[in-house]
Amino acid sequence: MIRVTNLHKSFRSQHVLRGVNLEFATGKITTIVGTSGCGKTVLLRHLNALLRPDEGEVFVDGVDIAKLPQKELYEIRAKFGVLFQGAALLDSMSVFDNVAFPLREKTKSKEPEIRKKVEERLEQVGLGEMGRKFPAELSGGMKKRAGLARALIMDPEIVLFDEPTTGLDPVLATSIHQLIARTHTTFGFTGVLVSHTIPQVFGISDYIAMLADGVIKELSSPEVFCASQNPVVQQFIQGKTEGPIQVL
Amino acid sequence: MLFFLGQVGRFATDQIAGMGRMFSFLMSALFLAFCRPAKVYLIIYHIKTIGVESLSVVALSGFFTGMVMGFQGYYSLRQFNAESWLGSATALGLLRELGPVLSAFMVTGRTGSAMAAELGTMRATEQIDALDSMAINPVKYLVSPRIIASLLAMPLLTAIFDVIGIFGAYLVGVSLLGVSSGSFFAGMEGSIVFHDVYSGFVKSISFGLIITWICCYKGFYAPPMATGVSQATTESVVLSFVFILVWDYFLTSIML
């Protein structure tokens, strides 16, 4: 469903992605791991064309979205749900209105229909009673849950998660992981997750992709990934400062 | 030497690219403003924030500007025994120049800076990216309604500024300095023509566009960090003031 070929991206003199080749299995969760600042989020943002590559292609259902004009791109983006790192809830709206927002803007659904669906999603993420609150009144974990409810409201085929547990305590991080796994089972979307919280994230992932030096060093199931003889992978898993990954 | 030339060249191309991006931002916001579906509820909301919430500051500044003009006009005109022209002089000054320019300054300070800060914060907290990723054009959703609202609100605010300013001048001239009420209004009636009112409104509409354009642009493309937002806010206000004065000069020279 999503395939990235020879993806290059630079920001001024910094060459972040240096020829990424990666295919995301349909209906599965693939987690991109790597050190901080290695370009995981940059790669994720290319998958729904929030960033355009300097070189290379990003295919979604066979269409290269990197070169699409805005109108066609928006049609493709309707297939995506995105959970941003800070949840990116619109702070002028209540949680309910945030979750209802895509339905109100992109569909012709009637208000009772919208209300029913939003309440159902909020219930699924454990925020049944929080609809009236504003983002500023929520804790970090609640914001992520509300962001997830909004990402899922349009029944997307693909959901992108940008570091969904960053800044959360281990208990809350586990609960968010469990929530992602549960919603994945319910909705069956293709999930792409960016994270560096290992090994916790292995439990919900079907595949792990290791990004280092601007390329994918390893793509395998969590079990195979852990047993990999690749020194980059082993250094990352073991958290060593010495090895092929340069630490400043 | 080559390094220096390279830096100058890069600076020049960056500036030109920036201007091009700013212009294309305006064009796309204007185009999207007239594309369906119209965001009527957002336009009404922004008329409230730009217009209604700026009312008190515009009224207050109009009142005191008018009173100052009353004083200054009286003492200038008295030297020529022409105090009876006070109404005409203040009304002309307010309608053609001070009303549109000062109310635009007030709106820039009160609402324009808030627009830049709000959009800058939305950029920093990925809210603009979130809109984009939901296939909702952020320019259409965030900028176009503000532009329409400012085009509608600015002439009304200017009209209120003018009327209250004239009242302030009347208060000082007639009640305080003893100019005859009849001559105050007669002079005004005799010298003000529709073109004076019209040119003031044309100015106010164009100033409304300038304020929203610059402040939204600066906020929209603010670097995603705290200093980026503050920098965008400052730049938006300063640039709006400069643009308003420069554009005022050109409009005045065309419409005089």
Query: Does the A1-79+198-248 domain belong in CATH 3.40.50.300?
Result: yes
- In chain B, whose CA is at the least distance from the CA of A156? B134
Please report, for chain A, the start and end positions of each structural domain, with discontinuous segments joined by +: 1-79+198-248
User: Coil, strand, or helix at residue A161?
Assistant: strand
Please report, for chain B, the start and end positions of each structural domain, with discontinuous segments joined by +: 39-255
Task: Give residue-wise pLDDT tens across range A36-84.
Answer: 888 999 999 999 999 999 999 999 999 999 889 988 999 999 999 999 9
The CA distance from B164 to B69, in Å, is 12
Of the candidates B122, B127, B133, the beta carbon closest to that of A50 is on B133
A129: its two tokens: 């009673």
Sign of torsion over alpha carbons A8, A11, A13, A16: negative
User: Coil, strand, or helix at residue A138?
Assistant: coil
Mutate to test the interface with A, among B133, B137, B142, B146 (most CBs of A within 10 A): B133
Task: Give residue-wise pLDDT tens across range A96-134.
Answer: 999 999 999 999 999 999 999 999 999 988 888 889 999
A239: its two tokens: 């958290």
CB contact under 8 Å between A84 and B130, yes or no, is yes
The CA distance from A51 to A46, in Å, is 5
B129 and chain A in contact, CB less than 8 A: yes
Task: Give residue-wise pLDDT tens across range B153-194.
Answer: 999 999 999 999 999 999 999 999 999 999 999 988 888 999
Least Cα distance to A232 among A214, A248, A218 occurs for: A218
Task: Give residue-wise pLDDT tens across range B202-254.
Answer: 999 999 999 999 999 999 999 988 899 999 999 999 999 999 999 999 999 99
CB contact under 8 Å between B137 and A48, yes or no, is no
What is the complex's ipTM, to 2 decimals? 0.90
Task: Give residue-wise pLDDT tens across range B116-153.
Answer: 999 999 999 999 999 999 999 999 999 999 999 999 99
Of the candidates B126, B137, B141, the beta carbon closest to that of A84 is on B126
